[in-house]
A and B are shown apart, each in its own frame.
Chain A
Amino acid sequence: MSRRRLLSLRRDIPAPIFAAAGVLVPLVLLGLWWGVTALGLVRPLFLPGPGDVLAEGLRQAREGILWADASVSIYRITVGWLAATVLALPIGILMGNFRLIEGALEPLISTVRYMPVVALIPLSILWAGIGDGQKILILFLGTFFQQVLMVMDNVKTIDMNLIRAGQTLGFSNREILTRIILPAAGPGIWDTLRITIGWTWTYLVVAELVAANTGLGRRIMDAQRYLATDTILFGTLFIGFLGLLTDAAFKRTGRLLFRWTRR
């Protein structure tokens, strides 16, 4: 395989090469990181070596901190994202099908969507206290407004002729909604759910910024106080790792749910 073949526009490349490239780049970065720290080019305060970060992770796992943090954070993310999803699905579907509901809600949601979630922390404390509810509320706010508009779009972009075909076959509006529109929009909506749970993960540190004792985000913020750079780095990488697992789980489930999209 010549180099020109590998770098042709949009041309497919052998799967092993594709996978190897994805492993190679992180390995190179890891090697650079290791090299720079092992040679003492940067002070550990600014960038501890990969070994130190790994050791920090093992320490947290051994002492049970890691599991305690992760379970609390996963719980908050699951509840926050689920609450957003449970509301965003029906509202987004209605907005996508009825122009009146779209007209009534779209301007409001689009406005709120631009408000920085961090700025809502004081209000969230005032309204939801300082318990888990406040963290979940922040995660909800960061997810819902994006999600609902994306679901609306998933519904709106299905082929109008599918709906028309249902009408010519004698189906009622309700039947067309449940048996044509929803299955047709299904793969798109699933993708929206996958993407938005990624966004919920990115709001974790924001959610655990105030009045939290545990959580992966909290651990990172605490470490800032003691300049424990290894804890910061490990926490950040670990959140990324959990996000990657979530994404893979969604992709796999999607392939099972929507077998019919496969050629």
Chain B
Amino acid sequence: MLEIDAISKTFTVDRKAVPVLDRVSLSVAENEFLSIVGTSGCGKSTLLNILAGLEDASDGTVRIDGRPIRGPGRDRGVVFQGYSLFEWMTVEGNIRFALEKSDLPAAEKSERVAHFIAAVGLRGFERAYPAQLSGGMRQRVAIARALVYRPRILLMDEPFGALDAQTRGMMQELLLQVWEDHKVTVIFITHDVDEALFLSDRVVVLAARPGRIRREIDVPLPRPRAFDIVTEAPFMALKREILTEIRAETLRAMGQEAGA
């Protein structure tokens, strides 16, 4: 139901056209969990911003249910790389702010806010300010804020990149839980292959400079998934496959750089 149709993006740097994305096409199914992995500079954040409607593509269209998107919309929620919380609002205030533009009656808004605070495990922290929270807790607020208005698509740009390994693992499990409970399509940007495999139904490997799709790999691992899946043979085999792709891509990009 989300169709990315031949998206290209070119930036102008010092009057030179630098292609960032080159005819990226993808179809994402309803409720699918899709990860996009790639080396730095492969344009994955740019792709996400285009899907969010925050940047225009130079060419191509993004369609949701056949309708091209025009700018940002409340059918999509975004979790950014930093924490991007409104520091002057409490945890509850941040999440409630996202509901301000919806027509729900006030009572239902409060109920929703409370529900999502519980869903991300922040009960008891409603009145805390972001500055008082740890990194993992801050990112939970961001997830609740992006989900509380029930967008159909959740776009996540390396959301756990700044967290330590333990917190990151906990957040991945929490995200899967929330995703299974609330049925939403997720597009998840990361450079961590383990993370992509653990979470996703499908992993897309982007090639760099310009970013284009190098490989799509289905992840037929059973759900619900527990953390120890990452040490099992099927997981390892998929991981090897993806790492090989990324390695080849990195070598190619380095060769290109050396040649330039």
Interface residues of A (CB under 8 A from B): 159, 161-162, 164-165, 167-171, 180, 183-184, 186, 258-263
| Cβ–Cβ contact B87 & A165, under 8 A | no
A-B interface contact total, Cβ < 8 Å: 68
Q: Hey, which chain B residues are within 8 Å of A183, CB to CB?
A: 86, 88
| Cβ–Cβ contact B80 & A164, under 8 A | yes
| Cβ–Cβ contact A161 & B87, under 8 A | no
Q: When the two chains form the complex, which single residue of B82, B87, B101, B145 contacts A261, counting CB atoms closer than 8 Å?
A: B87
Kindly state the separation between the CA atoms of A260 and B76 in the bound complex, as whole angstroms: 29
Kindly state the separation between the CA atoms of A263 and B133 in the bound complex, as whole angstroms: 8
B1 contacts the other chain (Cβ, under 8 Å)?
Answer: no
- Minimal beta-carbon separation of B125 from chain A (angstroms): 14
Kindly state the separation between the CA atoms of A165 and B145 in the bound complex, as whole angstroms: 10
B81 contacts the other chain (Cβ, under 8 Å)?
Answer: yes
Most buried by A among B76, B80, B88, B131: B88
Kindly state the separation between the CA atoms of A169 and B132 in the bound complex, as whole angstroms: 24
| Cβ–Cβ contact A260 & B80, under 8 A | no
| Cβ–Cβ contact B97 & A169, under 8 A | yes
Residue of B nearest to A164 (CB): B54
B219 contacts the other chain (Cβ, under 8 Å)?
Answer: no
Kindly state the separation between the CA atoms of A143 and B130 in the bound complex, as whole angstroms: 34
| Cβ–Cβ contact A169 & B101, under 8 A | yes
1/0 contact string of B66-104 vs chain A (CB within 8 Å): 000001111011101110101111000000011011000
| Cβ–Cβ contact B52 & A168, under 8 A | yes
- Minimal beta-carbon separation of B138 from chain A (angstroms): 12
Most buried by B among A159, A169, A261: A169
B129 contacts the other chain (Cβ, under 8 Å)?
Answer: yes
- Quick one: given A167-B72, A169-B101, A263-B131, are A161 and B86 in contact (CB under 8 Å)? no
| Cβ–Cβ contact B88 & A168, under 8 A | no
Residue of B nearest to A172 (CB): B101
- Minimal beta-carbon separation of A176 from chain B (angstroms): 11
Kindly state the separation between the CA atoms of A259 and B129 in the bound complex, as whole angstroms: 9
| Cβ–Cβ contact B87 & A168, under 8 A | no
- Minimal beta-carbon separation of A204 from chain B (angstroms): 35
Kindly state the separation between the CA atoms of A168 and B54 in the bound complex, as whole angstroms: 8
| Cβ–Cβ contact B87 & A260, under 8 A | yes
Provide 17 A-B residue pairs closer than 8 Å at the C-beta atoms, listed in order of the A residue: A161-B82, A164-B72, A165-B86, A167-B53, A167-B54, A168-B72, A169-B74, A169-B149, A180-B86, A183-B86, A184-B86, A186-B88, A259-B129, A261-B87, A261-B131, A262-B132, A263-B131
Q: Hey, which chain B residues are within 8 Å of A169, CB to CB?
A: 74, 97-98, 100-101, 149
